Amino acid sequence: MNNSNVRPLTRGLIDQVESHDGTLSVTAEFGKRSINADEVRPCLDEENLTEWKASSKFLPQTKIYRIDFIFNGNGYHVAPLSAATAAIFAHD
């Protein structure tokens, strides 16, 4: 395997969801790190252990973000001021 086939590792967690006055506020964590071809097999081997370890050397560090969603009468949509933050969580 060469490095051009290796995608970065991502980690995302939802910490809290709050609802108030037609707005949903989501507090979530997100982290991303690159991995090279030589790290893929050890990473997969660790992932397949029966006991997951939060201290994995492969897990990316995360930052905490807040994303607000506004109800428009039909559903919730990302608030304009949260659009850039929400884009961090989007997949390619």
Q: Which of 35-44, 59-68, 80-89 has the lowest mean pLDDT?
A: 35-44
**Token couple for 56:** 């994995």
* Selected residue with higher pLDDT from 29 and 45: 29
21-48: average pLDDT: 86
29-37: average pLDDT: 89
* pLDDT score of 71: 93
* pLDDT score of 57: 77
**Token couple for 11:** 């980690």
Backbone angles phi, psi at 10, to 5 degrees: -125, 155
What SS3 state is found at 84?
Answer: helix
Q: What angle do CA 23, 29, 91 make, to 5 degrees?
A: 90
**Token couple for 36:** 């090279």
pLDDT band for position 4 (50/70/90)?
Answer: low
The phi-psi region of residue 24 (left if phi > 0; otherwise alpha if psi is between -120 and 50; otherwise beta) is beta
- Indicate if the pLDDT at residue 22 is higher than 80: yes
pLDDT band for position 46 (50/70/90)?
Answer: confident
